[in-house]
Amino acid sequence: MTNHTASLTLVTGGTGKTGRRVAARLQELGVPVRIGSRAADPAFDWAEPTTWDAALDGARAAYIAFQPDLAVPGADDVIRAFTARATAAGVQRLVLLSGRGEPEAEACERVVLSAGVDATVVRASWFLQNFSESAFLPGVLAGELALPVAPDIAEPFVDADDIADVAVAALTQDGHAGEIYEVTGPRALTFPEVLAEIGRATGREIRYQPLTIEQFTDALTAEGVSQDELSLFTYLFTEVLDGRNAATADGVQRALGRAPRDAKSWASGPIGVVTTA
């Protein structure tokens, strides 16, 4: 049996929200890690297949966090090509970060699960960390978050730390091959309800302002966002966030034997949101 705990692991998206958490946990376990990013040495770029072989050299496991999203046209072809290169290079274990409620992502899942090696899918949707580390943070800090989502649409926002824990278990332990772990938080919350949790934890009032998709994309266009990015944002907000993912799932429990972290405990922790306006 291969000792995956001692195997070099390539973490693509290694500086992103889940990738850096996966990499840190692997390093804490003493697992040799190669960060897959454009700034790494060797560099890794999803858009430049010529960078893949050097990043895969010597790796026996890989965490696949595709950018910008598995829903973009042609993503399944890229994942198919990467998976073929990875298995040819000797990678024996694959863990794919996938998108919940995205048929296009499910096509990518099928590619990875049929690769002929141990493969696991971690299927997630919106992260709690979107409010504290990236897209939603400026609005949270400003005291008003404006998005093209109806205030009654609920989403069981998942903690990226839970995603990382599931991924690391699949990368380093036996018993996860062939599994699709659909990971969510323990309850579905609307955007106003998440902001209320952050507000209670930080002592700040944070309002939610619903926008039309036209208002949202017009604002992004004015900021110089590309058409490809606009198309992805439109898809994510109008289709993936249409209530289809409101039900909770048991992926964290099945993979780890514990409950997922709740938004209340996440907001009460060191989430990086300042307590003053």
| In a domain? residue 51 | yes
| In a domain? residue 229 | no
CA-based end-to-end distance of the chain: 55
Residue with tokens 């599994």: 179
Q: How far, in Å, CA of 165 to CA of 26, rounded?
A: 10
Bond into 151 cis (ω within 30): no
| In a domain? residue 71 | yes
Structure tokens at 173: 């332990």
| In a domain? residue 26 | yes
Q: Where are the beta strands (DSSP E) in the chain?
A: 9-12, 33-36, 61-64, 93-99, 118-124, 144-147, 154-155, 180-182, 189-190, 207-210
Burial class (CB within 10 angstroms; exposed 0-12, middle 13-18, buried 19+) of 24: middle
| In a domain? residue 18 | yes
| In a domain? residue 12 | yes
Angle between helices 213-222 and 227-235 (to 10 degrees): 150
- Tens of each residue's pLDDT in the chain, 277 residues: 344 556 899 999 999 999 999 999 999 999 999 999 999 999 999 999 999 999 999 999 999 999 999 999 999 999 999 999 999 999 999 999 999 999 999 999 999 999 999 999 999 999 999 999 988 999 999 999 999 999 999 999 999 999 999 999 999 999 999 999 999 999 999 999 999 999 999 999 999 999 999 999 999 999 999 998 999 999 989 888 899 999 999 999 999 999 999 999 999 987 656 543 3
Host domain of residue 254:
4-126+159-185+247-261
The CATH number of the domain holding residue 29 is 3.40.50.720
Q: How far, in Å, CA of 80 to CA of 94, rounded?
A: 13
The total number of structural domains that make up the chain: 1
| In a domain? residue 172 | yes
Single pTM value for the model: 0.94
| In a domain? residue 197 | no
